Amino acid sequence: MMGVPDSNSIRRQLQVSVTVAMAVLFVVGSLGVYHYVRFIEEKEFTESIERFLRESVGEVELEMSGVVDAGFHELALNRFAESNDTDDALYYVLRDHRGAVIFQSPWLKDESKLPFRPETRDGVIRFGRSNLSDGETVRTASTSWQLPVEDLDPGESPTAASDRARNHDPSAPENRVHMTVATSDESMRDMLLILAIALSTNGILITVVTAFLVIFLVGRACRPIEALSASCARIEPDRLSARLPESEVPNELAPLVAQFNSLLARVEQAFLRERRFSVDIAHELRTPVAELRSLAEVALVPAAEGGEEENPREIYLETAAIGERIGRLIDVLSKLHRSEQLSQAIDYREVNLGESLAEAVASLDCRSGGEVPGVRVECHTDARVSIDPALFRGILDNLLNNAVSYARSGSEVRCVVEESGSGGDSIVLEIRNSTDGLKSEDLHYVREPFWRKDAARSDSNHFGLGLCSVEAYARLLNIVVGIELDGDEFVVTLRIPKISQESRLLA
């Protein structure tokens, strides 16, 4: 059974939106067409009634015999005599100034259905509606005018005219007549009804066809998305080198595919680093574990006759030293792990960088059992920064310990503190130490965990994790770490945000 489409689906939103938009456009267009056709038909219908009324008025006159007549009335009588069919019937009624009927259409059974509305001004036409006695709806047009007298024919004597014709005053109120004409609008209404039904039926059919067409077209347009989804599903943790195909991808999806491939590349590098990290940990632990195993095997071997037995104290001392080394490695790894969990627990405080640096150097002296020669601190500014003291102290301890341990014998370690040259909005700390074996191509590997030059591999006090710890802490504190070789000096640069004068006053 097909499930209900998710309301959050882009495909469904497109289908519904486009279908509704097309339906609305068709409804608006159909209403426009209907009202336009209705307007044109109404206009033509009204003009035809008005034209018939004006033509009829022009034919009405008082004959010399004293009878009011019109040519159209005679034609209507003859036509009615031939057929009384009302399909094309013309309805009209002529009244005098009192409303009495002078003559009317032979098809009109009840003249009262065409109301008497006299007009005092000539040429003014009134339009309206009326229902005949048989229920037929008609449109009406009425007007009033002064009844004219028939013109005499050439050679005709005025004495032949009746008294009414001779005494007729066209301007007298009693000689004012009123005429109403009417015609059925049933054919127009039927035509408009058929048009409305046709537009509605077409609208329903077009909406249904549009809905299916939109479903097909949107589904076809979404095929690249489905293909990308299938490609993403095929990427397994052990196949992170795979990439989404960037060719034949729609322009709208190209940035997304490029960013996803970039993300895959970063994830792949992260996995590779983790794997190398695990291998390096195993490598670092292999040596002390092998040493412990060797000591245990030596202790278990009985001494030869007459030979000197192994002193247990020496074995215990060596075992303790190996255990201390393993413990230090575990401590460093624990600090690296904790640095990833401290983003929500950073305690920012105002710290004097020069004082913190001096304390770190003093602590280094104490750990070494006396003054460490060759460490010089140069502070050229009132270096106050907002920072977590504990994390920053960890950065200083690691950098100073590495600098002193790997510096060339008899050389000097310099720590320089100064303001940044670009606006003075940050403090720059440089720690420089001379080096023998480090080369420019080694800078790429210095940041890698457990990396050390071969000359330092035998040093059990270092694991190659110093810069890893520094960069982990620096990311939390928004400190930019830079490393470079300046001649024969290895330089580590820390760029630390400075406290503004306004912040000091508020504090």
pLDDT beyond 50 at 503: no
pLDDT beyond 70 at 117: yes
Topology adopted by domain 346-506 = Heat Shock Protein 90 (3.30.565)
pLDDT (tens digit, 9 = 90+) per residue, 377-408?
Answer: 888 777 788 888 877 888 888 888 888 877 88
> Pick the residue with more confidence: 83 or 452?
83
pLDDT (tens digit, 9 = 90+) per residue, 454-481?
Answer: 544 445 455 455 577 777 778 878 888 8
β partners of residue 93: 104, 180
The domain ranges of the chain are 236-300+311-341, 346-506
Read off the pLDDT band of 135 (50, 70, 90): confident
pLDDT (tens digit, 9 = 90+) per residue, 166-177?
Answer: 676 777 878 888
The tokens for 88 are: 């094309």
Closest by Cα among 440, 443, 364, 439 to 396: 364
- Are the beta carbons of 109 and 169 closer than 8 angstroms? no
Predicted TM-score (pTM) of the model is 0.50
pLDDT beyond 70 at 8: yes
pLDDT beyond 60 at 313: yes
Read off the pLDDT band of 506 (50, 70, 90): very low
What size, in residues, is the chain? Answer: 507
Helix (H, G, I), strand (E, B) or coil at 317: helix
> Pick the residue with more confidence: 216 or 279?
216
Q: What is the pLDDT of residue 443?
A: 72
Helix (H, G, I), strand (E, B) or coil at 99: coil
For residues 83 and 329, give the distance between their C-alpha atoms in angstroms, rounded to a whole number. Answer: 121
For residues 79 and 32, give the distance between their C-alpha atoms in angstroms, rounded to a whole number. Answer: 41
Count other Cβ atoms within 10 Å, centred on residue 492.
22
For residues 471 and 478, give the distance between their C-alpha atoms in angstroms, rounded to a whole number. Answer: 10
Angstrom CA distances, 289 to 76, 326, 344, 460, stand at 128, 9, 37, 13
> Pick the residue with more confidence: 156 or 434?
434
Average pLDDT over residues 402-418: 84
For residues 456 and 401, give the distance between their C-alpha atoms in angstroms, rounded to a whole number. Answer: 14
The tokens for 70 are: 């019109």
The tokens for 183 are: 């015609």
Average pLDDT over residues 263-272: 82
Average pLDDT over residues 293-300: 78
Residues 6+ apart with CB under 8 A from 185: 45, 137, 138, 139
Closest by Cα among 454, 331, 476 to 395: 476
For residues 176 and 118, give the distance between their C-alpha atoms in angstroms, rounded to a whole number. Answer: 9
Angstrom CA distances, 319 to 286, 290, 311, 326, stand at 15, 11, 13, 11
Whole-number percent of the chain with pLDDT over 70: 77
Average pLDDT over residues 116-131: 82
- Are the beta carbons of 102 and 127 closer than 8 angstroms? no
Average pLDDT over residues 210-229: 85
Count other Cβ atoms within 10 Å, centred on residue 435.
19
pLDDT beyond 70 at 341: no
- Are the beta carbons of 243 and 260 closer than 8 angstroms? no
Read off the pLDDT band of 289 (50, 70, 90): confident
For residues 242 and 353, give the distance between their C-alpha atoms in angstroms, rounded to a whole number. Answer: 47
> Pick the residue with more confidence: 340 or 388?
388
- Count of alpha carbons within 13 Å of 218, Cβ hemisphere only? 17
pLDDT (tens digit, 9 = 90+) per residue, 18-70?
Answer: 889 989 999 999 999 999 999 999 999 899 889 988 888 888 888 777 778 88
pLDDT beyond 50 at 181: yes
